[in-house]
């Protein structure tokens, strides 16, 4: 190659690098959205064809009478108001009042004028704002504000990505650095501000608590941050309004073990709490690892702390599914639902799935730990929630998704498939479902402690799951099979001893969400240890439309149900309104330590990104799914052999 060609080539590369650098500089240093940007996007939102897709009829609140057979209550235990710094930075100005009112069915608009409203009011909710920046708004209103605090407050009102990621990096540091402590420079004043925010949260939860109709929980999020956008966060949920004087954040408790110890020390009777971790898919393997985020190995006492205080795991939310992956011995294709991360190649890799990231792997690790230390600290129940930062708890239906933060933009922006900051890997999030006799703090909290709960991907499937070693097919003809199952069996979340040769029998029912698609099938997922080995298998146990199950692969044929991509209407000609089955594990032996959980799957419906594409008359992005398979996952039932 001639010298002149080299000069031209290097000059071109230099120019491209310069342009790229300027682009990135502007992207990360200018305000996320200017007033002009907001105005322009608001005009674009007005042009969206909101009425072209299938319309959902909104339903009023339905009171459920107390029942010994228990009612299912749907709610969201993970949502953020403007009290969370990241929610505020990205445009949310709705506070606790608006957040709770939304959960009860009131509509609201995002900054672009798009309306958000859930199809039915929730039965319960917890607003879980990040404790790490409690007191920030009080600091900004301080008449004696310091210059450093004033600068931080100004950046909050006109934030850049650089400001957001800079804040994030302070919490990644070990030990973490509090921007509030540095800005305020007065420990006593900072403590007063922090407690002021906590007091507002407690009062708002009590104000909106309506026993029998709508239950609120005093709660917050504990938020240790990992490199490269990873999370090791937990929501802290309290049973009543007797709570510690402050919410313990990352700066008070550097690891989950520290958090549990702080809460135990300061949560005095009648105070009770539980922690619920989330985002295993973005935990870079810390979710179910045998060590803390500081790489200190768990002791037996540490495992006991986790066992006593963490009965549940959030397996589905707006940053994806954390149920399972197909990377570590599983051939379960349903693991790919709302899962976009690759398999990690090395132990300390990030931006990928490790063998200790996902819930099913955590359940299997729990069985192994039981063999090693004599108890299972990972026998957790499973819920879903939204993790929305828009003050819109329970807004988990695909048709109503408006992005996980206010600054995302309207439909045209949400479906943009770019190299940076694409929203297409997100989703509306899930719901928590609780089986309880009535709707109040005590009964719902105690049901969560017993793990008689389940997760959904956002719709309101009603799922029951019982074990009964002596069950027979006659139960299907019973006048009250649920009462019999409670009397003679064990519901989801139970741990059962079995030293006999009896094979376990399970009674499972699922009822469709009347505002969503018919049910396709019910599956059972089994995990077990036997002779020192960990195993898993997935069974289709009943399929709609009388499809037979192939005994060789435990599967039925795929449903013929389809979706109309002109308006997102779904097929009512296939599927079931209700599925019911008694299933026996004929492969069970008393040598197995096992867990089982049920998974109900709907027929295909439009994914949120397809709704958005139809609104702007564009084809859906090629590299992302056009459909969604809504699901419900029961909490497991464990059978011990010793």
> pLDDT (tens digit, 9 = 90+) per residue, 45-89?
999 999 988 778 889 999 999 999 999 999 999 999 999 999 998
Question: Quick one: pLDDT at residue 30?
Answer: 56
Average pLDDT over residues 506-522: 97
> pLDDT (tens digit, 9 = 90+) per residue, 94-116?
999 999 999 999 999 999 999 99
Question: Quick one: pLDDT at residue 584?
Answer: 97
| CA 583 centroid distance within chain | 29
| CA 208 centroid distance within chain | 23
Look at residue 406 and tell me whether its pLDDT is greater than 90.
Answer: no
What's the pLDDT band for 455 if we cut at 50, 70, 90? very high
What's the pLDDT band for 420 if we cut at 50, 70, 90? low
Question: Quick one: pLDDT at residue 419?
Answer: 47
Question: Quick one: pLDDT at residue 31?
Answer: 66
Picking from 25-29, 362-366, 368-372, 518-522, which range would have the lowest pLDDT averaged per residue?
A: 25-29
Q: Is the dihedral of CA 511, 515, 521, 525 positive or negative?
A: negative
Look at residue 337 and tell me whether its pLDDT is greater than 70.
Answer: yes
Q: Which residues are within 8 A (CB) of 456 and not within 5 positions of it... i.e. 6 or more apart?
A: 74, 316, 384, 430, 431, 433, 630, 631, 632, 633
The three-class DSSP label of residue 138 is helix
Question: Quick one: pLDDT at residue 15?
Answer: 34
Question: Quick one: pLDDT at residue 179?
Answer: 78
What's the pLDDT band for 331 if we cut at 50, 70, 90? confident
Picking from 325-329, 335-339, 598-602, 614-618, which range would have the lowest pLDDT averaged per residue?
A: 325-329
Q: Of 134-143, 171-180, 308-317, where does the model show the most confidence? A: 308-317
Query: What percentage of the chain exceeds 70 in pLDDT?
Result: 94
Question: Quick one: pLDDT at residue 172?
Answer: 87
Question: Quick one: pLDDT at residue 2?
Answer: 53
What's the pLDDT band for 186 if we cut at 50, 70, 90? confident
Long-range contacts (CB closer than 8 Å, 24 or more residues apart) made by 621-629: 621/415, 621/417, 621/424, 622/417, 623/417, 623/424, 624/417, 624/424, 624/425, 626/563, 626/565, 627/563, 628/337, 628/338, 628/398, 628/427, 628/457, 628/604, 629/334, 629/337, 629/520, 629/601, 629/602, 629/604
First to last CA, the chain: 76
Report the alpha-carbon distance of residue 77 to residue 3 in Å, rounded: 65
Average pLDDT over residues 617-637: 96
196 closest CA partner among 263, 125, 129, 137: 137
Average pLDDT over residues 600-625: 95
Average pLDDT over residues 386-396: 97
Residue 120, CA atoms < 13 Å, CB-side half-sphere: 19
Residue recorded with tokens 């710094």:
85
Look at residue 16 and tell me whether its pLDDT is greater than 50.
Answer: no
> pLDDT (tens digit, 9 = 90+) per residue, 210-252?
999 999 999 999 999 999 999 999 999 999 999 999 999 999 9
> pLDDT (tens digit, 9 = 90+) per residue, 430-454?
999 999 999 999 999 999 999 999 9
What's the pLDDT band for 339 if we cut at 50, 70, 90? very high
């Amino acid at each position: 190659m001639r010298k002149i060609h080299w000069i031209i080539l290097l000059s071109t590369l230099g120019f491209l690098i310069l342009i790229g650098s300027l682009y990135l500089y502007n992207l990360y240093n200018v305000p996320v959205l200017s007033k002009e940007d907001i105005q322009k996007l608001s005009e674009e939102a007005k042009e969206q064809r909101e009425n072209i897709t299938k319309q959902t009829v909104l339903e009023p609140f339905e009171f459920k009478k107390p029942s010994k057979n228990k009612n299912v209550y749907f709610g969201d235990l993970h949502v953020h108001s403007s009290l969370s710094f990241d929610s505020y930075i990205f445009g949310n100005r709705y506070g606790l009042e608006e957040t709770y009112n939304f959960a009860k069915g009131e509509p609201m608009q995002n900054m672009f004028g798009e309306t958000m409203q859930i199809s039915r009011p929730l039965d319960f909710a917890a607003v879980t704002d990040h404790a790490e920046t409690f007191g920030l708004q009080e600091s900004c209103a301080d008449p004696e504000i310091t210059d450093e605090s004033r600068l931080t407050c100004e950046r909050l009102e006109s934030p850049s990505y650089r400001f957001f990621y800079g804040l994030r990096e302070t919490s990644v540091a070990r030990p973490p650095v509090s921007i509030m402590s540095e800005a305020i420079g007065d420990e006593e004043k900072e403590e007063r501000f922090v407690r002021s925010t906590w007091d507002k949260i407690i009062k708002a939860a009590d104000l909106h608590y309506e026993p029998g109709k709508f239950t609120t929980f005093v709660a917050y999020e504990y938020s240790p941050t990992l490199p490269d956008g990873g999370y090791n966060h937990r929501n802290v949920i309290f049973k009543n309004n007797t709570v510690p004087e402050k919410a313990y954040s990352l700066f008070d408790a550097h690891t989950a073990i520290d958090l549990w110890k702080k809460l135990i020390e300061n949560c005095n009777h009648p105070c009770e709490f539980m922690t619920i971790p989330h985002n295993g898919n973005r935990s870079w393997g810390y979710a179910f690892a045998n060590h803390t985020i500081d790489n200190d190995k768990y002791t037996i006492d540490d495992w006991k702390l986790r066992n006593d205080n963490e009965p549940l795991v959030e397996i589905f939310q707006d940053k994806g599914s954390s149920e399972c992956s197909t990377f570590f011995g599983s051939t379960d294709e349903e693991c790919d639902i709302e899962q976009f991360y690759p398999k990690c190649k090395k132990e300390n890799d990030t931006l990928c799935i490790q063998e200790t990231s996902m819930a099913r792997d955590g359940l299997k690790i729990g069985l192994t730990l039981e063999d090693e230390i004599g108890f299972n600290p990972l026998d957790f129940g499973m819920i879903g929630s939204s993790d929305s930062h828009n003050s819109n708890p329970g807004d988990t239906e695909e048709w109503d998704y408006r992005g996980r933060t206010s600054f995302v933009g309207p439909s045209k922006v949400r479906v943009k498939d770019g190299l940076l900051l694409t929203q297409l890997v997100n989703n509306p999030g899930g719901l928590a479902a609780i089986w309880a006799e009535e709707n109040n703090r005590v009964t719902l909290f105690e049901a969560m402690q017993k793990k008689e709960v389940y997760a959904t991907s956002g719709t309101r499937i009603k799922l029951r799951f019982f074990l009964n070693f002596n069950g027979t097919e006659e139960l299907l003809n019973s006048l009250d099979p649920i009462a019999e199952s409670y009397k003679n069996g064990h519901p989801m979340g139970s741990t059962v001893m079995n030293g006999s040769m009896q094979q376990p029998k399970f009674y499972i029912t699922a009822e469709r969400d009347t505002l969503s698609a018919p049910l396709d099938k019910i599956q059972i997922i089994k995990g077990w240890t036997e002779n020192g080995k960990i195993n898993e298998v997935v069974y289709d146990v009943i399929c709609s439309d009388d499809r037979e199950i192939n005994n060789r692969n435990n599967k039925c044929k795929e449903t013929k149900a389809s979706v109309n991509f002109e308006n997102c209407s779904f097929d009512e000609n296939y599927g079931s309104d209700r599925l019911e089955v008694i299933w026996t594990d004929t492969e069970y032996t008393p040598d197995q330590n096992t867990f089982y959980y049920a998974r109900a799957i709907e027929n295909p419906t439009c994914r949120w990104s397809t709704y958005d594409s139809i609104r702007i008359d564009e084809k859906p992005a090629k590299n992302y799914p056009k459909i969604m398979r809504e699901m419900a996952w029961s909490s497991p039932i464990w059978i011990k052999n010793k």
